[in-house]
């Protein structure tokens, strides 16, 4: 070790020991009760997001076309086993979560809900089989043939047997996941949607389009095909879709090269099938026209070329194709033709579940509903957006991000303007760098 390095090491040791003397101010004891309440509220917020996604996904798996089907109950549960030491099992216990499966989510439109199962119920028996863990419950539900008689105990000390007859649906499930940005992906069996995607979408229908696109990857067998096509070998975890180009998170560079040859066509097919999946579930398509265009705003000029290392078609192409798919499907709806895709893919041969009955749709409102931030459905014309009513002073690092059109920064600005419901100007001294509108539009005065 050279002398300067030793000196540096010594300096570090001295610094470290200086830090070890501990804090000098009395910040008081942590209120454990308040902590437990706060943990419960944050957990509940996550469960609410999962219920939103489950509720929007259910019509898609009810009315889709899938190569297999399976039972669906519509509830989620936790046990104390899922809490490690970091998430203190004592706090789980204080919330009534022990070794018995504790119901945390019930999808309002599911059989579980209509049969009377509630969040907070502890499950201890299914069709006469004792349940003592999450694994027990999973295997008891697997053995159900027909109706599941689920014995539960409630916090008020009452117990019931609740008979739930599962629905038969496409066997895929959707999950809200953290830390993947404005992204979603499919792994052949599941659909994962990033928490940030839930913020990005401007309507339930947009989120359903994302979910339907991922469901289509699973139903059309794209993930399996990608695994087989991968020239370099090894398993490819998933097909990822999104704004931030996190493809690399899921596959190494070599595997990506093998996947690229096929993946643009898979993406085109998933977009196309998604429109059919939505229409089959009676979901309104009219607000989806600009979904890819809005996502493209976060990608700068890159949006004009194939995205994510060439794995995805460009956003202009996806926008044009989405619009023509919507026209094709709306035509079939009007002519009351069955909603099957014009495709030779595996999905066309899959088991079609019954289509949702058409409902008399009310005329679309002339103005956006209260509380909705959905932009006008017509093609965007140069209207005069509101002048900024809110100003945010930014430092040099944020100025650089805005000037580089950093996608994460733009999404943050878009979400902030939408939540504040105010046109927000980002300024550096007296220069306005960007103006974010609640509609999601971002202007760059300095362009
Ligand atoms: Zn995709």
226 alpha carbon to ligand 1 midpoint, in Å? 12
* pLDDT above 50 (res 48): yes
180 alpha carbon to ligand 1 midpoint, in Å? 15
Q: Which residues surround ligand 1, an ion (CB under 5 A)?
A: 241, 267, 270
379 alpha carbon to ligand 1 midpoint, in Å? 25
* pLDDT above 80 (res 57): yes
Neighbours of 150 (CB within 10 A): 29
282 alpha carbon to ligand 1 midpoint, in Å? 22
Q: What is the mean pLDDT of residues 54-61?
A: 98
The confidence score (pLDDT) of residue 248 equals 42
Name the percent of the chain lying above pLDDT 90.
40
11 alpha carbon to ligand 1 midpoint, in Å? 52
407 alpha carbon to ligand 1 midpoint, in Å? 19
264 alpha carbon to ligand 1 midpoint, in Å? 9
Among the ranges 15-24, 147-156, 377-386, which has the highest mean pLDDT value?
Answer: 147-156
308 alpha carbon to ligand 1 midpoint, in Å? 11
Residue 105, C-beta contacts closer than 8 angstroms, at least 6 positions apart: 47, 50, 51, 54, 75, 76, 119
69 alpha carbon to ligand 1 midpoint, in Å? 22
Least confident of 61-70, 182-191, 310-319, 405-414: 405-414
The confidence score (pLDDT) of residue 345 equals 56
* pLDDT above 70 (res 350): no
241 alpha carbon to ligand 1 midpoint, in Å? 5
Least confident of 110-119, 167-176, 393-402: 393-402
* Per-residue pLDDT tens over the stretch 135-151: 999 999 999 999 999 99
* Per-residue pLDDT tens over the stretch 278-330: 999 999 999 999 999 998 887 777 778 777 667 788 899 999 999 999 999 99
267 alpha carbon to ligand 1 midpoint, in Å? 5
Least confident of 93-107, 306-320, 367-381: 367-381
Residues 427 and 394 sit within 8 Å (Cβ to Cβ): yes
Ordered by start, the domain boundaries in the chain are 70-168, 173-352, 390-443
Confidence (pTM)? 0.70
Name the percent of the chain lying above pLDDT 70.
75
- pLDDT top residue among 234 and 355: 355
pLDDT band at 261 (very low <50, low <70, confident <90, very high): low
* pLDDT above 80 (res 336): yes
239 alpha carbon to ligand 1 midpoint, in Å? 6
The confidence score (pLDDT) of residue 32 equals 81
CA dist., res. 366 & res. 438, Å (int): 19
107 alpha carbon to ligand 1 midpoint, in Å? 26
287 alpha carbon to ligand 1 midpoint, in Å? 20
242 alpha carbon to ligand 1 midpoint, in Å? 8
213 alpha carbon to ligand 1 midpoint, in Å? 6
The confidence score (pLDDT) of residue 417 equals 77
* Per-residue pLDDT tens over the stretch 58-93: 999 999 988 789 999 999 999 988 777 666 677 777
What CATH number matches the domain at 70-168, 3.40.47.10, 3.40.50.1000, 3.30.1360.70, 2.30.42.10?
2.30.42.10
Least confident of 57-66, 110-119, 223-232: 223-232
* pLDDT above 90 (res 335): yes
175 alpha carbon to ligand 1 midpoint, in Å? 16
191 alpha carbon to ligand 1 midpoint, in Å? 11
Neighbours of 51 (CB within 10 A): 21
* pLDDT above 50 (res 383): no
- pLDDT top residue among 222 and 105: 105
Residue 19, C-beta contacts closer than 8 angstroms, at least 6 positions apart: none
* pLDDT above 90 (res 129): yes
217 alpha carbon to ligand 1 midpoint, in Å? 7
pLDDT band at 97 (very low <50, low <70, confident <90, very high): confident
The confidence score (pLDDT) of residue 5 equals 47
């Amino acid at each position: 070790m050279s002398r300067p390095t030793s000196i540096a090491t010594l300096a570090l040791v001295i610094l470290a020991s200086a830090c070890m003397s501990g804090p000098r101010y009395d910040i008081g004891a942590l209120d454990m009760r308040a902590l437990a309440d706060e943990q419960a509220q944050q957990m509940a917020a996550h469960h609410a997001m999962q219920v939103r996604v489950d509720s929007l996904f259910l019509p898609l798996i009810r009315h889709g076309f899938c190569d297999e089907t399976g039972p669906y109950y519509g509830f989620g549960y936790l046990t104390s086993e899922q809490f490690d030491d970091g998430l203190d099992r004592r706090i789980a216990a204080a919330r009534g979560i022990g070794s018995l499966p504790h119901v945390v989510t019930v999808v309002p439109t599911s059989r579980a809900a209509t049969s009377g199962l509630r969040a907070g119920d502890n499950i201890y028996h299914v069709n006469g089989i004792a349940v003592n863990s999450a694994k027990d419950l999973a295997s008891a539900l697997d053995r159900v043939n027909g109706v599941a008689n689920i014995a539960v105990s409630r916090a008020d000390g009452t117990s019931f047997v609740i008979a739930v007859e599962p629905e038969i649906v496409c066997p895929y499930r959707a999950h809200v996941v953290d830390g993947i940005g404005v992204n979603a992906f499919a792994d052949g069996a599941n659909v994962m949607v990033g928490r940030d995607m839930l913020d990005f979408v401007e309507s339930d229908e947009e989120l359903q389009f994302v979910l339907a696109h991922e469901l289509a990857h699973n139903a059309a067998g794209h993930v399996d095909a990608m695994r087989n096509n991968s020239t370099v070998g090894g398993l490819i975890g998933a097909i990822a879709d999104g704004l931030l180009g996190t493809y690399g998170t899921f596959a190494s560079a070599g595997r990506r090269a093998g996947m690229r040859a096929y993946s643009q066509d898979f993406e085109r097919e998933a977009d196309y099938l998604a429109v059919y999946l939505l229409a089959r579930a009676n979901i309104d398509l009219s607000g989806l026209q600009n979904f890819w265009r809005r996502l493209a705003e976060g990608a700068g000029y890159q949006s004009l070329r194939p995205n994510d290392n060439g794995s995805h078609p460009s956003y202009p192409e996806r926008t044009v194709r989405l619009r023509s798919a919507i026209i094709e499907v709306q035509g079939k709806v009007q002519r009351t033709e069955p909603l099957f895709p014009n495709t030779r893919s595996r999905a066309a041969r899959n088991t079609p579940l019954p289509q949702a009955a058409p409902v008399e749709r009310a005329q679309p409102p002339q103005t956006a509903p209260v509380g909705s931030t959905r932009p006008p459905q017509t093609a965007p014309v140069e209207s005069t957006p509101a002048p900024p009513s809110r100003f945010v002073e930014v430092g040099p690092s944020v100025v650089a991000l805005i000037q580089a059109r950093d996608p994460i920064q733009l999404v943050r600005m878009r979400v902030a303007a939408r939540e504040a419901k105010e046109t927000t100007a980002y300024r550096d001294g007296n220069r306005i760098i960007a103006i974010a509108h609640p509609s999601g539009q971002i202007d760059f005065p300095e362009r």
